[in-house]
Structure 1
Amino acid sequence: MENVTIKDVAKHAQVSIATVSRVLNDNYPVSKETKEKVLKAMNELNFKPNSIARSLKSNITHLIGVVIPDISNSFFMEIIKGIDSVVSKEEYSLILSYTDENFDKELNVLKRLSQKRVDAIILASSNTDNKYVDDLIKENIPVVLIDRKIKTSNVDVIASDDFGSAYTLTKYLIEMGHRDICIVNGNLNVSTGIERYDGFKAAMMDYNIEIKDELVLNGYYSWEKAYEEVKKLIVDKKIIPSAIFAANNRMAEGTMLVLKENHLKIPDDVSLVTFEEIENQKLIEPKLTCIKQNALLMGKKAGQMILERIKDKETNPKEIVVVSDLVINGSVKKIN
């Protein structure tokens, strides 16, 4: 039967059209026996509900927008996997967008998601001053921030201890004897970039080690930008630090290519550590010492939090900090 309607289902199940509607929208109590009759009729008639029409009527689309800065980064892909593993069980679908760390693009993405009437948004913002989040809240669109915080908005947050983890990683380099430590910073317009740099600086200051201007690079969380900056340091300026701290995995990969092209071995010539494990770490020798974030768990927590927020928009926002681990591998040389 083609173009099966609610009326056809009601007739087949021998119930009213209103009862079929209640089963579809799950908005009024229906007895278990009646619900099973309706679902059986839908299956036998191959009835496919018009989700667009239903969303217009109920004001629920079962769509959640997820906005991330870098679709090529395995860390964010793990987060998305975690989110989907939770929300899909409640029949929500994800609309994925990425911003390339471009704040103007991010604002346009958020506006489009609002126009598509998503039920909620999970956001890893590219700017700590994102005031548009407040507008989304006023539009009754719940927002959960993941990985990155923003300054003013009073919303739920899932994050790592970026300051503490960066401090721990820097401290490890120092205790291994390193003093000429180069840092390849991320985007200093976002909380993760700021907090990781602050953690690095705090450790260096606590050990009375000078932070040399020429060893502070801005990789902007970009593989390409990190490659360019490290190449300028090593090839153009002829400066070879004893150790390099890459503030994320993609920048570590760009750094590794520069070292390889210039026949500098890890860790014999230059030690290298990174915030977050690089992709295909198991295929690389030596494996990099890193801060390992639990991206999958962060995604699952964000999925749980956004479902709670959809159901209850009035509860007080909360912040969850997911613990990261220092994973020591063979990429740091001990200096006596």
Structure 2
Amino acid sequence: MQPPTLRDVANAAGVHTATASRALNPESRNLVNPDTARRVLRAAQALGYRPNPIARGLKTAKSGTVGLVIPDLTNPLFPPIVRGIEDVLAPAGYSTLIVNTDNQPDREKSQIASLRSRQAEGLIIATALLDHPLLRELHDQRVPMVLVNRRTEDLGVGSVAADDAMGVGLAVKHLADLGHRRLLHLAGPQTTSTGVDRLLAFREAVRRYDLDADPARIVVCDSWTEEAGAVALRSALDAGLDITAVVAGNDLIALGCYDVFAERNIACPTDISVVGFNGMPFLDKLRPPLTTVAVPHHALGQEAARMLLDAITSPDRPPRSVLLPPSLTVRGSTTAPHP
């Protein structure tokens, strides 16, 4: 079977071949009506059309590559984000170079330097801290970039993330409706926007539903990992905190709770209910299956890629911050508190 051609894309979108060519080329997309450009990109994606980046590069001196900076490739939330990014970038003629930083600033700096030496035309960054000097430096150098799943403070860079306040509110409301009043929040690192926003949202939701607001029932984890979640829950239990449910900062922290439940013969959800955040794959295979706030990761990646294409083609356009709505997936890890 022959691969789809530019003419096939043009026919599917109902436009002239030259219009399709301009719409698929980030350098000339601004010459096409935005609705028409989106129609052409959708047609290219549906047909599986792939422009030839080598041929285009010879004409434009552009690399046709975008750098994607990930903090931890072993975290299962990132593959659907990557897939969403590639589903948008590939029809536009871009390849994605993925680097992993292991949450280490020196490694991040060297990896981004490597991407720039390869002439990456823009960056999608999932490693942003609230205070991030390297990103500020890149911004000052007018490097096109978009933040995904994170944001920074006082930096004019586009970002796309889940609506953390809405998601935590869904989790707390679910537990409150079941009858829980003493909730423990295992918060993510407070150096990240997600950690800060989810903690603030937890405090607000506890007030909104008139639950017990003991500040001791907030324990901050030092990383977004299973091990950190286990350490935090052990410290809360060792301190004698009276809790009936846990709102975990993310699904990996919630998995750490499962480890502690097994160690201490705590029945979940009979003794303690737990809610995660992110909607990672395979959570339904746990025992009990994990109730979680599901984030539309594929859509996050798609929107981040669209925003980066805009930043590359229209560098003077004001950056946007987009929040996508999460949803609550109720499974077996939550029930009414034991009388």
TM-score, normalization by structure 1: 0.78
1:265-323, Cα deviation, whole Å (9 max, x unpaired): 21011101011224312322432221100001111111222122222212121122211
Q: Give yes or no for the alignment of 1:209 onto 2:219.
A: no
Q: Give yes or no for the alignment of 1:132 onto 2:134.
A: yes
* Aligned-residue offset at 1:240: 6.0
**Match of residue 102 from structure 2:** 100
In 1: Cα distance, 2:321 partner to 2:53 partner: 37
The aligned runs of 1:288-303 (5 Å cut-off) are 288-303=290-305
Could you say if the C-alpha distance between residues 272 and 27 of structure 1 is closer, same or farther in structure 2, counting changes exceeding 3 Å? closer
* Contact 1:66–1:121 (CA under 8 A) maintained in structure 2: yes
Could you say if the C-alpha distance between residues 81 and 242 of structure 1 is closer, same or farther in structure 2, counting changes exceeding 3 Å? same
In 2: Cα distance, 1:156 partner to 1:127 partner: 14
In 1: Cα distance, 2:214 partner to 2:104 partner: 29
How many percent identity over aligned positions?
Answer: 26
In 2: Cα distance, 1:268 partner to 1:27 partner: 59
* Contact 1:247–1:274 (CA under 8 A) maintained in structure 2: yes
**Match of residue 149 from structure 2:** 147
| DSSP 3-state at the match of 1:230 | helix
Q: 1:188 aligns with which of 177, 187, 190?
A: 190
* Contact 1:103–1:127 (CA under 8 A) maintained in structure 2: no
- Match for 2:166: what amino acid? G
* Contact 1:185–1:218 (CA under 8 A) maintained in structure 2: yes
Give the aligned CA root-mean-square deviation in angstroms.
2.7
* Contact 1:272–1:288 (CA under 8 A) maintained in structure 2: yes
In 1: Cα distance, 2:240 partner to 2:156 partner: 47
Q: Give yes or no for the alignment of 1:218 onto 2:224.
A: no
Where does structure 1 lack aligned partners over 5 or more consecutive residues? Answer: 1-24, 29-48
**Match of residue 77 from structure 1:** 79
1:63-119, Cα deviation, whole Å (9 max, x unpaired): 111112221122111101110111112231111122233344333333332233210
Stretches of 4+ moved more than 6 A in 1? 25-28
**Match of residue 167 from structure 2:** 165
**Match of residue 46 from structure 1:** none
In 2: Cα distance, 1:311 partner to 1:317 partner: 13
Q: Give yes or no for the alignment of 1:255 onto 2:228.
A: no
| DSSP 3-state at the match of 1:184 | strand
**Match of residue 43 from structure 2:** none
In 2: Cα distance, 1:331 partner to 1:155 partner: 38
| DSSP 3-state at the match of 1:81 | helix
Could you say if the C-alpha distance between residues 107 and 240 of structure 1 is closer, same or farther in structure 2, counting changes exceeding 3 Å? farther
Pair member with larger Rg: 1
In 2: Cα distance, 1:279 partner to 1:27 partner: 37
The aligned runs of 1:261-272 (5 Å cut-off) are 261-272=263-274
- Match for 1:220: what amino acid? S
Could you say if the C-alpha distance between residues 212 and 316 of structure 1 is closer, same or farther in structure 2, counting changes exceeding 3 Å? closer
Could you say if the C-alpha distance between residues 153 and 262 of structure 1 is closer, same or farther in structure 2, counting changes exceeding 3 Å? same
TM-score, normalization by structure 2: 0.77
Q: 2:89 aligns with which of 87, 90, 93?
A: 87
